[in-house]
Amino acid sequence: MRMIGCVSPPTAGELSIFGLDPVADGPAIRARLGVVPQEDTLDVELTVRENLLVYGRYFGLSRAVIRERSARLLEFVQLADRAGDRVEPLSGGMKRRLTIARSLINDPDMLLLDEPTTGLDPQARHVVWDRLFRLKQQGVTLVLTTHYMDEAEQLCDRLVVMDRGRIAAEGSPRELIDRYSTPEVLELRFDPAVHENAAEKLASIPAQRREVLADRVLLYVPDGDATLGAVRSLGLEPLTSLVRRSTLEDVFLRLTGRRLED
Amino acid sequence: MTAQAPAATAPAAWPFAVRQLRFWLTDYRRTWRGSIISTVLNPLLYLGAMGLGLGTLVDKHGTAHLGGVSYLVFLAPGLLAASAMGTAVGESTYPVYGSVKWNKTYQAAVSAPLRPADLFHGHLLFVALKLTMTCSVFLAVAALFGALTSPLAIAALPVAVLTGLAFTAPIEAWTVTRSRDTSLAVVYRFGVIPLFLFSGTFFPVTQLPVWIRPVAYLTPLWHGVALCRALCLGTATLPGALLHVGYLIAVLAAGIWAGNRSYTRRLYV
C-alpha cells in the first residue's frame, strides 16, 4: 500500500502507477492519488476547514478552489456543521470522514484506503461505506485493505486475499465464495456433554467440508435445511442450529486458516 | 468528485518547499500573539536584569576586559546571537518531533506531492522568517536601551539569523530521527545551556581556562556572538567577518546535507 502511495521504495519486482515510475515520479503520481492512511494524520490543533486548506495547498490549489471544494466535500462527509471546529475533540468516526474528505481535495484519479473503518462504531462504519460506495459510483477507483470481510463484500469488485505477504486467492467476492465455499453453511451447537460424540456421528453426513470447533460444528453443504433434516434423522438434536449463506469470512478462514497470526 | 475544476493538480508555480512554509504560517496563526509577547519580553527582561542590573556592578569593576565599553553594550550583541540560537533550537526540536510522531502531519504531507526534503526546506524557510522577526525585535529593544553604538549593528541581523539557522539545520536533521521525545531534553541540557553560558555571551571567552577555549571557538554560537559583537561595536574587520560567516555557512550546509538524508530515511520507509 505504501509502495503504491510512493512513500516506500519497492523492495523487489516492478511497480508502475498511472504508467509512471514511483521512485522517479513520486510527486507526479501522488498529485493524482488520494490517501486515507490507517492512522489519522490530521492536524488536531487546526480546525476542520484549516486541515483541508493546508492539505489542498500541498497540491498547489488556490484558496478559491479549496474553499469551493471544502464546502462540497464537508457536505459529502456530513461534517459541514463542524467546519469551524478544532479537530481534536471530534469523534473517531468524524476524524475518519474528515480524512476521507481531505483525501479527495485534489480530485484524485485513485483513492488508497488503509483499513478505513477499523475502530469505528457500526453507525460510523455504515456512513463511511455509504460515502465510499457513492465515490465508486462516480467513477473513482478505490484500492482498500481491510480485515472486515463484510466491508470487502460491500465495496469490492475485485479482491485479493493475502496470507503472510502472498496472494492466496483473487477474484470477485461472488467468484471466491463459489470457488472456495459452498452455497450454504449449517452451524450446529450441541450440549457440551455430547458435543464430541455428536461430531463423530456427523461424519456420516455428506458435506463438502466439515469443521469441528470447540463450541460448534460447521457443515459446508449445498442445502442447509436438507442437511439439518439428515442430522435429525440420525437421532441428533442440536441445542441450536443455523442455516446461512456462505460469506467471504468462510473463504478467508478456509484460505488462511483459523490460527492466530501476527 | 471528478470532472470539476480541471487541471487543478497541474504543477504549481511555487516550489514545493514554499507549500510547506505556508503550512507553518497557517500553524503560526494560532500562536502568534503569545509568540510576539515573549519575543518582546525576552530582550526586555535579559537586557534589564543582566545589562542594566548586573552591568552596573560589572562597570564599577572596570571595563577593560570588555573592550572598554559598558557591560550593557558588551552583552546586547551576545544575547542577540544567543537568543537566535534559543529560538532556532526551540523550533527545530518539539515542533519537528511532533510533526513526525504526534500529529504525523509530515506523513500526511508526503502522501501529497511533497518530498521529505521539501518538508525540511519549508521548515528552514519558516525558521528563517521567525528568526528575522525575533532578531529584529531584539535589535529594536537593544537600540531603545542605548546598547547599540555603531550603524553596522544593522548587519548583525542577518548574522544572527544565520547563527540560528546553523543550529536549526543540524538539530532538525537529528530530531527527525528520534523515536522518543526525552532525547530532545538532552539537546538543552548538554547543548543549549552550556553554549548559552560559555560561548562569550556573558563574558569574553578569554576569561575561560586556556585548555577549554578551543572548544568554545568550535561552537557556532561563539562565531555568531563574536561577529554580532564586532558589528555592533563597529570593530568588525572583513577577514574576521568572512571567517565567521564562512564557518556558520559550512555548519548550515552540513546540516542541510544531513537533513536531506535523515528526512528521506525517516519518511520514505
Model confidence over B209-238: pLDDT tens digits?
999 999 999 999 999 999 999 999 999 999
Taking an 8 Å cut-off on Cβ atoms, the answer to whether B2 and A139 are in contact is: yes
- Least Cα separation, residue A47 to chain B (angstroms): 10
Q: Do A58 and B14 touch (CB under 8 A)?
A: no
Residue A261 covered by a domain: no
For residue B76, the tally of other CB atoms under 10 A from its CB is: 32
pLDDT range class, residue B88, cuts 50, 70, 90: very high
Reported as a pLDDT band with limits 50, 70 and 90, residue B11 is very low
pTM for the structure as a whole: 0.88
Determine the Cα–Cα distance for residues B135 and B80; give it in Å rounded to an integer: 7
For the domain that residue A81 is a member of, what is the CATH number? Answer: 3.40.50.300
Please provide residue B121's backbone torsions phi and psi, each rounded to the nearest 5 degrees: -65, -35
pLDDT band, very low/low/confident/very high, at A157 (cuts 50, 70, 90) = very high
Is A187 a domain residue? yes
Give yes or no: residues A123 and A202 share one domain. Answer: no
Question: What's A235's domain CATH number?
Answer: 3.30.70.790
Instruction: Kindly tell me if the per-residue pLDDT of A126 is higher than 50.
Output: yes
Q: Which of A138, A156, A174 is the last residue of a domain?
A: A156
Characterize A67-105 residue by residue with b for buried, 16 or more Cβ atoms within 10 angstroms of its Cβ, and e for exposed: eebbeebbebbebeebbeebbeebeebbbbbbbbbbbbb
Provide the residue count of chain A.
262
Indicate whether A122 belongs to any domain. Answer: yes
C-alpha B166/C-alpha B170 separation (Å) is 7
Is the confidence at residue B113, as pLDDT, over 70?
A: yes
Residue-level pLDDT at A214: 86
Phi, psi of A113 (to 5 degrees): -125, 120
CB contact under 8 A, B113 and A140: no
A20 within a domain of the structure (yes/no): no
Cβ partners under 8 Å of residue B154, min gap 6: B139
B255: exposed, middle or buried (Cβ count in 10 Å: 0-12, 13-18, 19+): buried
The answer as to whether B97 is a domain residue is: yes
Tell if the CB–CB gap between A138 and B1 is shorter than 8 Å.
yes
Inter-chain CB proximity B115 and A65 less than 8 Å:
no
The answer as to whether A25 is a domain residue is no
Is residue A92 situated within a structural domain?
A: yes
Pick the residue from chain A with its C-alpha nearest to B26.
A54
HEC secondary structure over chain B: CCCCCCCCCCCCCCCHHHHHHHHHHHHHCCCHHHHHHHHHHHHHHHHHHHHHHHHHHHHHCCCHHHCCCCHHHHHHHHHHHHHHHHHHHHHHCHHHHHHHHCCCHHHHHHHCCCCHHHHHHHHHHHHHHHHHHHHHHHHHHHHHCCCCCCHHHHHHHHHHHHHHHHHHHHHHHHHCCCCCCHHHHHHHHHHHHHHHHHCCCCCCHHHCCHHHHHHHHHCHHHHHHHHHHHHHHCCCCHHHHHHHHHHHHHHHHHHHHHHHHHHHHHHCC
Give percent of chain A above pLDDT 70: 99
Same domain (yes/no): A190, A224 = yes
Among A3-7, A34-38, A109-113, B223-227, name the one with the lowest average pLDDT: A3-7
Q: Are residues A148 and A206 part of one domain?
A: no
Q: Pairing between strand A159-163 and A166-171?
A: antiparallel
Q: What range does the domain containing B146 cover?
A: 16-23+31-267
Both A207 and A149 in one domain: the answer is no
Spacing of C-alpha A125 from chain mean position? 10
Q: Give just the sign of the alpha carbon dihedral A118, A120, A121, A123.
A: negative
Could you list the residue range(s) of the whole structural domain that residue A236 is in?
182-245
Residue B4 in any domain: the answer is no
**What is the torsion angle, in degrees rounded to the nearest 10, for the CA atoms of residue A244, residue A250, residue A254 and residue A259?**
-110
Residues A148 and A231 placed together within one structural domain of the fold: no
CB-CB: which of B12, B26, B267 is closest to A54? B26
**In terms of domains, do A149 and A38 share one?**
yes
Asked if residue B52 is part of any domain, the answer here is yes
Q: Is residue B6 part of a domain?
A: no
Q: Is residue B2 part of a domain?
A: no
Question: Chain A: residue nearest B6 by CA?
Answer: A107
Measure A81 CA to nearest chain B CA, in Å.
20
Does B113 contact A60 at a Cβ distance shorter than 8 Å?
yes
d(CA B71, CA B56): 8
Question: According to the model, what pLDDT value does residue B14 have?
Answer: 57
Does the residue B10 lie in any domain? no
DSSP state of A168: E
On the question of pLDDT at B4 being above 80, the answer is: no
A252 domain residue, yes or no: no
Residue A13, C-alpha cell as written in the block: 519486482
DSSP-assigned beta bridge partners for residue A231: none
Q: Does the CB of B1 have a partner CB in chain A at under 8 Å?
A: yes
Residue A2 lies in a domain: no
Q: How many domains does chain A have?
A: 2
Check CB contact of B27 with chain A, cutoff 8 Å: yes
Q: How many domains does chain B contain in total?
A: 1
